[in-house]
C-alpha cells in the first residue's frame, strides 16, 4: 500500500468492503478499514446463520485476507469518538486513527421504537454475533421443549424480508436437522409472525404477500397482520388491543435505524431514523471530507431503501468518485440502478421482482427461479471478494453436502 491521502472506512459490510476493495490499490490513497468483527459476512444471510442452516466456514471471510488481497490495512475495533476538527477516530482498543477522508459504512440495526420490554426481552439479528446467539438459544429451546414433551413457542415481530425469511428458515432448520424432520416440526413448533401493517412483505406486490402468507400458514405458522406490539416480557408480546401472544423465544425484526455509532458524528444532518444526510456524491451535507454509504446514509434528493444492493452500488461508486474528489475534480453524481428485489422462504418458495432489461424478461418470478437468483446475488458478492473459481468450488461443495443443522437431536 502506497502513501497518499488517508482514507478511513468505518464498517466492513457490503458497502464498506466494496469501497475498500476498489480504493485499496490506488496509488494516491492509503486506506484503513475498521470493523468490530474479524470477518466479513453477507448481512442478508444472517437469518440463515441464526437458524444454523449456513456455516461460518466458507461464508465468513477474514478481513486480514481481503486486506492483503486488495491492498488496505485492517484494524479490528469499534469507534468510540470522532473528532472532525482534528480528523481522528478513537477506537475501543485505545488506538486513535487519523484521516483525510472518512467513509462511514456502519450499517443499521432493528428499530425498537422505544417500546417497553423489547430490548430486555427480545433477541435481534443485526450482526453475526446476534445470529450466533439466536441459534444457540433456538437450539437449547428445541432440546428443552422436546425433553419436556412441550411445544416450542416462537414469536417474531416484523413482516419484512428479515422476519419472513427468518421464521421460514427456523422451520427449515428443524426439517433438515439430523433426527428431526417435518413431522417433528409440526408437533414441536408453535410459531407466530407479527406485523403492524395490513400485510407482510409490503415492499412486494400484494400477490407476493398473499402467496408468502399462504406458504407460511402451510408450514403451520400463524401470520398476524394489523397487530401493533406495545410491550414484551419474558412470556411474550402484548398488543395494543390488550391481547397477549405467548412466545418463549422472542425475536424483534421490525424497522430499520442507523447504527448507534453514527451518533459519534456530532453536528451532521441526519434523518428521522438516524441516517446521515448525504449529497449525490455521497458526501455528508455539512462536511465534504466525511462520506456515508449503505444503511446509515440517506440521499435527500432521492431516498433509497436500505438494502445490500444499494450499499454495494454506493461502495462501488465511491471507489470511482473519491479519487476524483481527491484530485480536485467533481465526479458524476451517484445514480442508483434498482435491479429488483428477491425474497426466499428457505427451500419452500421464493419470489422476485426483477428489472425487465436484465433478468429473464423481468417481471415477477417465483419458486425455484427466484430462490436461485436469491442465492446468486450472494455468490456474485463472494466471487468479487474471493474470485470466481473459489466461489464456484465452495458453492458446489455446499450443494453436494448440504448443511445439517446441529439441534442436538
Domain closes at, from 326, 356, 376: 326
Nearest to 366 by CA among 223, 214, 224, 253: 214
Residue 260 lies in a domain: yes
Residue 376 lies in a domain: yes
- Does one domain contain both 263 and 298? yes
Residue 363 lies in a domain: yes
- Does one domain contain both 287 and 365? no
| pLDDT value of residue 2 | 47
- Between CA 105 and CA 389 the distance in angstroms is 28
- Does one domain contain both 353 and 309? no
Q: How far is C-alpha 103 from the chain's CA centre?
A: 19
Burial zone of 384 (CB within 10 Å; 0-12 exposed, 13-18 middle, 19+ buried): middle
CA torsion through residues 293, 298, 304, 307, sign:
positive
- Does one domain contain both 93 and 161? no
- Between CA 409 and CA 403 the distance in angstroms is 15
- Does one domain contain both 288 and 170? no
What is the DSSP pairing of strand 249-252 with strand 152-157?
A: parallel
- Does one domain contain both 344 and 285? no
| pLDDT value of residue 377 | 85
What DSSP designation does 160 have?
S
What DSSP designation does 115 have?
-
Residue 405 lies in a domain: no
Domain closes at, from 230, 252, 274: 252
- Between CA 155 and CA 193 the distance in angstroms is 6
User: By residue range, what is the domain housing residue 40?
Assistant: 5-110+256-326
Q: Half-sphere exposure (CA, 13 Å, Cβ side) for 131?
A: 26
> In 246-367, which ranges are continuous DSSP H helix?
308-326
| pLDDT value of residue 355 | 65
Evaluate whether 47 touches 76 at the Cβ level (below 8 Å).
Answer: no
Residue 318 lies in a domain: yes
Q: Half-sphere exposure (CA, 13 Å, Cβ side) for 209?
A: 16
Number of folded domains that form the chain? 3
Residue-level pLDDT, tens digit, the chain, 409 residues:
446 899 999 999 999 999 999 999 898 999 999 999 999 999 999 999 999 999 998 899 999 999 999 999 999 999 999 999 999 999 999 999 999 999 999 999 999 999 999 999 999 999 999 999 999 999 999 999 999 999 999 999 999 999 999 999 999 999 999 999 999 999 999 999 999 999 999 989 999 999 999 999 999 999 999 999 999 999 999 999 999 999 999 999 999 999 999 999 999 999 889 999 999 999 999 999 999 999 999 998 888 888 899 999 999 999 999 999 999 999 999 999 888 888 999 889 989 887 644 444 446 777 888 888 888 888 888 888 888 988 888 888 887 777 889 998 6
Number of CB atoms found within 10 A of residue 319's CB: 17
- Between CA 58 and CA 395 the distance in angstroms is 9
Evaluate whether 291 touches 103 at the Cβ level (below 8 Å).
Answer: yes
Residue 409 lies in a domain: no
What pTM, to 2 d.p., does this model score? 0.92
SS3 content of the chain, % helix, strand, coil (to 5): 35, 25, 40
| pLDDT value of residue 363 | 63
Q: Read off the C-alpha cell for 305.
A: 431503501
- Does one domain contain both 68 and 160? no
Residue 17 lies in a domain: yes
Nearest to 279 by CA among 265, 263, 268, 267: 268
- Between CA 343 and CA 256 the distance in angstroms is 17
Residue 408 lies in a domain: no
- CATH of residue 210's domain is 3.50.50.60
- Between CA 165 and CA 203 the distance in angstroms is 14
- Does one domain contain both 246 and 149? yes
- Does one domain contain both 123 and 192? yes
Q: Half-sphere exposure (CA, 13 Å, Cβ side) for 152?
A: 23
- Does one domain contain both 53 and 137? no
- Does one domain contain both 248 and 125? yes
177 Cβ contact list (under 8 Å, min separation 6): 52, 404, 405, 406, 407, 409
- Does one domain contain both 226 and 291? no
Number of CB atoms found within 10 A of residue 392's CB: 14
What DSSP designation does 243 have?
-
Domain closes at, from 252, 286, 306: 252
| pLDDT value of residue 243 | 98
Amino acid at each position: 500500500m502506497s502513501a497518499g491521502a488517508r482514507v478511513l472506512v468505518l464498517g466492513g459490510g457490503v458497502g464498506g468492503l466494496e469501497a475498500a476493495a476498489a480504493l485499496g490499490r490506488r496509488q494516491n490513497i492509503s486506506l484503513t478499514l475498521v470493523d468490530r468483527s474479524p470477518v466479513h459476512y453477507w448481512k442478508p444471510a444472517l437469518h440463515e446463520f441464526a437458524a444454523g442452516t449456513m456455516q461460518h466456514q466458507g461464508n465468513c471471510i477474514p478481513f486480514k485476507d481481503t486486506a492483503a488481497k486488495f491492498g488496505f490495512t485492517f484494524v479490528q475495533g469499534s469507534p468510540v469518538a470522532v473528532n472532525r476538527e482534528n480528523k481522528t477516530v478513537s477506537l475501543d482498543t485505545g488506538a486513535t486513527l487519523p484521516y483525510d477522508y472518512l467513509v462511514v459504512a456502519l450499517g443499521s440495526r432493528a428499530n425498537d421504537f422505544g417500546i417497553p420490554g423489547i430490548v430486555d426481552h427480545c433477541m435481534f439479528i443485526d450482526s453475526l454475533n446476534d445470529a450466533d446467539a439466536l441459534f444457540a438459544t433456538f437450539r437449547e429451546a428445541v432440546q428443552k421443549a422436546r425433553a419436556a414433551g412441550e411445544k416450542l413457542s416462537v414469536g417474531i415481530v416484523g413482516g419484512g424480508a428479515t422476519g419472513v425469511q427468518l421464521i421460514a428458515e427456523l422451520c427449515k432448520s428443524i426439517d433438515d436437522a439430523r433426527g428431526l424432520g417435518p413431522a417433528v416440526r409440526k408437533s414441536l413448533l408453535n410459531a407466530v409472525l407479527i406485523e403492524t401493517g395490513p400485510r407482510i412483505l409490503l415492499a412486494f406486490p400484494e400477490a407476493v404477500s398473499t402467496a408468502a402468507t399462504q406458504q407460511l400458514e402451510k408450514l403451520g405458522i400463524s401470520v398476524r397482520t394489523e397487530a401493533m406490539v406495545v410491550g414484551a416480557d419474558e412470556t411474550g408480546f402484548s398488543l395494543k388491543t390488550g391481547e397477549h401472544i405467548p412466545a418463549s423465544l422472542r425475536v424483534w425484526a421490525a424497522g430499520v435505524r442507523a447504527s448507534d455509532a453514527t451518533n459519534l458524528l456530532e453536528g451532521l444532518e441526519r434523518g428521522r431514523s438516524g441516517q446521515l444526510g448525504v449529497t449525490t456524491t455521497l458526501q455528508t451535507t455539512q462536511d465534504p471530507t466525511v462520506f456515508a454509504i449503505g444503511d446509515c446514509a440517506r440521499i435527500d434528493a432521492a431516498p433509497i431503501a436500505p438494502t445490500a444492493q444499494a450499499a454495494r452500488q454506493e461502495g462501488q461508486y465511491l471507489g470511482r468518485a473519491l479519487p476524483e474528489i481527491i484530485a480536485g475534480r467533481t465526479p458524476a453524481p451517484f445514480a442508483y440502478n434498482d435491479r429488483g428485489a428477491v425474497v426466499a422462504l428457505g427451500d419452500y418458495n421464493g419470489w422476485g421482482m426483477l428489472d425487465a432489461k436484465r433478468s429473464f424478461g423481468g417481471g415477477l418470478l417465483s419458486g425455484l427461479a427466484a430462490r436461485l437468483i436469491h442465492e446468486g446475488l450472494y455468490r456474485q458478492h463472494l466471487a468479487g471478494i474471493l474470485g470466481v473459481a473459489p466461489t464456484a468450488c465452495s458453492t458446489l461443495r455446499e450443494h453436494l453436502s448440504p448443511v445439517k443443522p446441529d439441534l442436538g437431536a
